[in-house]
Amino acid sequence: MNGFSRGKLITLEGGEGAGKSTLLAGLQKHLLAQGVDLVQTREPGGTPLGEAVRAIVLDPAHRGMSAESELLLMFASRAQLVRECIEPALAAGRWVLCDRFTDASYAYQGGGRGVRAERIALLEQWATHGLTPDLTLLLDLPVATGRARAAGRGEADRIEVEGDNFFERVRAAYRARAAAEPARFRIIDATRTPDEVLAAAIDATHHLFGAKA
Ligand code: Z5A
């Protein structure tokens, strides 16, 4: 624990099969080797309440879920995660590595489902007090490539059953957010090998250590 400075929040984003889980494992190992006191978590999920929400939002049985319900459930999970896990960790000087965060709501519920960005921004202010990651790694790859990678994993969840057009809109929304906030985002070409993706991610974290010193 570092009692003198606030920790850093690093988030991983990308479409289906982009390689977030694969990168998380390598990045976690690297950061721990650097002596970083690290918490790893995910969205939706990361707390007992959030994991229960995750089971609901991904369950194919709820195929009639409205875009509004989906968005509110994502933020219910997020509000709990911020209060129970992320804020206490950052306040204690720990770093947090989070598999998806608010950008995913702008990409999936905004870009994918068509919910207006102003509505999402209102929830963001209310539920997270506008908590913004110090670094967001966007794993970008063609939709077809990501879907082909994810195809062999068994039954698709409620969101994975969406068509290619939905995931094209998700990808476009992510890229637009990255273009609007270049200082926070690092876009990583996720068609490269896992080692190359990890190297790019590690390179993107260097300035965080500088800021900590
Ligand atoms: N969601 C939302 O709608 N709104 C929100 O606000 C939030 C989330 C927070 C759950 O997310 C769903 O919730 C997600 C968005 C929505 N829905 N969808 N679709 P998730 O992150 O838990 O699930 P996911 O997006 O489906 O992740 P994923 O498909 O598991 O992908 P991944 O973790 O990015 O990939 P991976 O498991 O590391 O890799 C997939 C395969 O590719 C695997 O066989 C790897 O060995 C392989 N791989 C990985 N990297 C490479 C490289 N570089 N080259 C070749 N092959 C690779």
Contacts of 52 (CB under 8 A, 6+ apart): none
Task: Give the integer Cα–Cα distance in Å for 130 and 73.
Answer: 17
Cβ atoms within 10 Å of 91's Cβ, excluding its own: 10
Tally the domains of the chain.
Answer: 1
SS3 state of residue 95:
strand
| Share of residues in the chain with pLDDT > 70 (%) | 97
Which ligand 1 atom minimizes the distance to the CA of 24?
38
- 10 Å CB burial of residue 126 (0-12, 13-18, 19+) is exposed
Are 188 and 137 within 8 A, CB to CB?
yes
Are 100 and 12 within 8 A, CB to CB?
yes
For 132-178, how does the pLDDT look when each residue is reduced to its tens digit (9 = 90+)? 999 999 999 999 999 999 987 878 899 999 999 999 999 999 999 99
Residue owning the nearest CA to atom 38 of ligand 1: 19
> For the whole model, what pTM was predicted?
0.96
Give the pLDDT score at 1: 45
Q: Evaluate: CB of 108 within 6 angstroms of ligand 1.
A: yes
Q: Evaluate: CB of 150 within 6 angstroms of ligand 1.
A: yes
Give the pLDDT score at 123: 98
CATH number for the domain including 18?
3.40.50.300
For 65-118, how does the pLDDT look when each residue is reduced to its tens digit (9 = 90+)? 999 999 999 999 999 999 999 999 999 999 999 999 999 999 999 999 999 999
**Residues of the domain holding 164:** 9-212
Q: 3 in a domain, yes or no?
A: no
- What beta strand segments (E) does the chain contain? 9-14, 38-42, 95-99, 135-140, 185-189
Q: 4 in a domain, yes or no?
A: no
For 30-60, how does the pLDDT look when each residue is reduced to its tens digit (9 = 90+)? 999 999 999 999 999 999 999 999 999 999 9
Residue 61 has pLDDT above 80, yes or no: yes
Residue 211 has pLDDT above 70, yes or no: no
Calculate how far, in angstroms, residue 140's C-alpha sits from the geometric centre of ligand 1: 11
Q: 62 in a domain, yes or no?
A: yes
Which ligand 1 atom minimizes the distance to the CA of 152?
44
Q: 207 in a domain, yes or no?
A: yes
Amino acid at 23: L
Give the pLDDT score at 2: 47
Give the pLDDT score at 194: 98
Give the pLDDT score at 4: 64
Which ligand 1 atom minimizes the distance to the CA of 20?
34
Mean pLDDT of the chain: 95
Residue owning the nearest CA to atom 50 of ligand 1: 19
Helices first, then strands: H and E counts in the chain: 9, 5
SS3 state of residue 67:
helix
What b/e sequence results for 24-39 when a residue is b if at least 16 CB atoms lie within 10 Å of its CB, and e otherwise?
A: bebbeeebeeeebebb
